[in-house]
C-alpha cells in the first residue's frame, strides 16, 4: 500500500482544497490539525491526526509512515514574535522529516519582493530557505495573492472593492504582482508531489497577468457591476491603511496588517516558474478566478450586507 501524504494545515483555505483534490484521485492522505477531533466531525471521511508546528512530538507522530509532507502552515496570526517561532518550527519540521525518511517536502511560500521584504515576507522566505537546506529534498512554491473564497488576501481585496464607493489610492497601490487562482495553486501542489526531485528546488507560482494593486481592486469592483471613484492620495502609508482595513474588511486584522506591509514593492517572479515544467497546464484568468471566488462567497453578517448595499447604490455602473 502506498504511504500517505501528510497535509499540514489541512483545515485551512489551501489545505482543504488540496485535500479534496487528492481524495478525489484516491491518493492516501493524512491530515494534520491542532484540533483533529473538531476537524473529524466536519470531515469524517478524511484521516485526521494531531499536529502542532511547535510540538516536536506531535510533528514526529504525524509524520510516521508518510512518504511526503505538504507544509501549508504559518504562525503570523499568533502575534508578535511569530517570525522567530516560524524559523524554529521550520528547523524542527526539517529534522523530523529527515528522521521519518520522507521522500520530499512541498512548501507554499511567498514571492520575494523587488526590494526589502516586509517582516511577513521575510519570514516566509526564511522558512523556505530552512526547509530547502534540510536533508529531505524540498520544492518551494512562491505565490503572491491567491484568489479564492477563504483566502485572507483575497478577502481584503474583495471587501475594499465592494464596500468603498470612493477609493483613496496611496502610492503603494501601484505595486505590481501576479495574483493566482486557487485552482492553479492546487494543480501546482499536486504536480510538485510527483515531479522528479533529485535535490531541492525553488519555483515561482504566478498567475497569468501582471496587475497593480489598484488594477486588481478596480477590476474586482467592475466584475461586481461597480465603478468606484478613485482619488490619488500618495501620503497614505501602509500603516495608516492597515488601520483603515480594520474598519472596512472582515479579514483577520493581524494577518491583514502584515499583508499590507508586504505591498510596498513589486511582487513579481524572479525565479523559474513552475509552469515552465508544466507547459500543458492552462492557467485560470484573473477575471475567471474572481468570478469563481464570487460564486463561492459565504453568507455575510447583517452589518456587512447593509454596508455593501449602501456602497453599491453609490458606485453601481449605470446601464448603457
Q: Where are the alpha helices (DSSP H) in the chain?
A: 13-24, 36-42, 56-63, 82-100, 119-132, 152-163, 182-192, 213-222, 238-248, 253-261, 286-295, 302-315
Residues 6+ apart with CB under 8 A from 311: 162, 163, 164, 165, 226
Q: Give per-10-residue mean pLDDT for the chain (320 aa).
A: 90 95 96 93 94 94 97 76 91 97 97 85 94 98 94 85 72 86 98 94 97 90 84 60 61 64 77 94 97 83 59 58
Within 10 angstroms of residue 234's Cβ, the number of other Cβ atoms is 11
CB-based contact 194:288 (threshold 8 Å): no
**Per-residue model confidence (pLDDT) at position 156:** 83
pTM of the prediction?
Answer: 0.89
Radius of gyration of the chain (CA): 20
What domains can be seen in the chain, in order of their start residue? 5-147+179-208+270-276 (3.40.50.720)
Amino acid at each position: 500500500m502506498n504511504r500517505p501524504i501528510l497535509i499540514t494545515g489541512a483545515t485551512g483555505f489551501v489545505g482543504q482544497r488540496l485535500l479534496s483534490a487528492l481524495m478525489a484521485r484516491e491518493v492516501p492522505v493524512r491530515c494534520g490539525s491542532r484540533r483533529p477531533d473538531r476537524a473529524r466531525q466536519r470531515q469524517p471521511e478524511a484521516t485526521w491526526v494531531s499536529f502542532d508546528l511547535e510540538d516536536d512530538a506531535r510533528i514526529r507522530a504525524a509524520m510516521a509512515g508518510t512518504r511526503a509532507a505538504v507544509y501549508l502552515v504559518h504562525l503570523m496570526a499568533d502575534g508578535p514574535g511569530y517570525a522567530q517561532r516560524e524559523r524554529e518550527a521550520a528547523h524542527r519540521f526539517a529534522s523530523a522529516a529527515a528522521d521519518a525518511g520522507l521522500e520530499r517536502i512541498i512548501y507554499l511560500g511567498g514571492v520575494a519582493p523587488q526590494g526589502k521584504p516586509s517582516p511577513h515576507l521575510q519570514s516566509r522566505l526564511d522558512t523556505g530557505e530552512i526547509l530547502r537546506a534540510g536533508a529531505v529534498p524540498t520544492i518551494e512554491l512562491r505565490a503572491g495573492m491567491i484568489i479564492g473564497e477563504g483566502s485572507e488576501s483575497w478577502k481584503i481585496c474583495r471587501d475594499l472593492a465592494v464596500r468603498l464607493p470612493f477609493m483613496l489610492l496611496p502610492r503603494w497601490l501601484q505595486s505590481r504582482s501576479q495574483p493566482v487562482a486557487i485552482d492553479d495553486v492546487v494543480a501546482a501542489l499536486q504536480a510538485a508531489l510527483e515531479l522528479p526531485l533529485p535535490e531541492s528546488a525553488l519555483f515561482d507560482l504566478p498567475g497569468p497577468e501582471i496587475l497593480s494593486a489598484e488594477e486588481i481592486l478596480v477590476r474586482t469592483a467592475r466584475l461586481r457591476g461597480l465603478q468606484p471613484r478613485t482619488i490619488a492620495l500618495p501620503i497614505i502609508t501602509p500603516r495608516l491603511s492597515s488601520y483603515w482595513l480594520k474598519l472596512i474588511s472582515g479579514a483577520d486584522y493581524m494577518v491583514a496588517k502584515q499583508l499590507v506591509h508586504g505591498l510596498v514593492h513589486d511582487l513579481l517572479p524572479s525565479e523559474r516558474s513552475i509552469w515552465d515544467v508544466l507547459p500543458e497546464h492552462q492557467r485560470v484568468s484573473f477575471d475567471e478566478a474572481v468570478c469563481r471566488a464570487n460564486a463561492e462567497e459565504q453568507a455575510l453578517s447583517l452589518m456587512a450586507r447593509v454596508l455593501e448595499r449602501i456602497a453599491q447604490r453609490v458606485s453601481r455602473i449605470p446601464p448603457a
